[in-house]
Structure 1
Amino acid sequence: MKFNIFDIRRQFPILGREVNGYPLCYLDNAATTFSPTVVLDKVREFETGYRANVARGVHRLASEATDAYESARASVAKYINAKDVNEVVFTSGTTGSINQLAFGLEGSINPGDEILVSTLEHHSNFVPWQMLCQRTGATLRLIPVSSEGILDLSAIGELVGERCRIIAVTQVSNVTGDIS
């Protein structure tokens, strides 16, 4: 499937801006991702039509909000081919999600354990693991990149040892655009 970058950019109103005389180029999506018009429209519909806590009430608005939420979860599950809709968890973003994961795994990480990340990682997938290592005495090991800026996947096999507990690698680098 081919994508027309201009068609995609038109779906995101903020990408119509110019910065320093150039079309906005944004590489910090792990921290904050822009919303396409379809999402902005759906958020406005929610805020003006049935704003309520999901799965927390028995009134009409809560029921409508819960139905919309669960419908979205089912759509995502189908899209990613999840076996069960409960495998889909919505979070505030990458940074918060990985922080939650790192804190949740803390009790399973011991001094001398190893966590592997690449040198291409956004801070949202680097700092939480770095801090987990500092809190637990684990070792953070870095997967190198080639001189072309491409993740050296062959090095992973050499770095994984008996004490490796986590491998956290980006799918697409926000720095180089490399697809791992």
Structure 2
Amino acid sequence: MKLQIRNFNAHQISERFDIEIPSDDSSDLKICYVDFEFEEKPEYNITAKFLLNQNNLKLDDFNFVYFKNIDLIFFRFIYQWGIIDLKNKRLKRNVVDYSLDFPFFYLHENCILIVDDLFAETITFDGETIDTILNEQPHEIIEFENYFEFDIIGVEKRKLMKTLQET
């Protein structure tokens, strides 16, 4: 995946874009356009318009995570993260939260693990939530076949499922 990032202030004239990513109702919004280009799948090429709150000065490569062969792009900025569905060219999730750190995205054999300082979540390769738990610092993660165990040091252990439970 190649990125072309264009950071602007809110007074720039809007350009052509495929999808818009809103922010909270901040008074000092900045606008950023990001062109995502895929040499091996040009039908997935997309331009996203991001409205950034005042805590985000500009975007760079660190703000985006893409796992090859999964049709999702993960974005993260201060107080916000989300998922773009490339196949359907739509915003899959847009989460505004007030964690102190960026979430991290980890690809596993049968799920994607998302972890920040307030929560941990597993999702399918289509971006659907499997399981979510509250998270606290410091913690240690132990991986088992069907779940992750979060050892919240000095407090408790929390189980996060890796696959959907059959009923």
TM-score normalised per structure 2: 0.25
User: Of Structure 1 and Structure 2, which has the larger fraction of its residues in helix?
Assistant: 1
Q: Which structure carries more relative contact order (alpha carbon 8 Å, separation 6+)?
A: 1
User: Of Structure 1 and Structure 2, which has the larger fraction of its residues in strand?
Assistant: 2
TM-score normalised per structure 1: 0.24
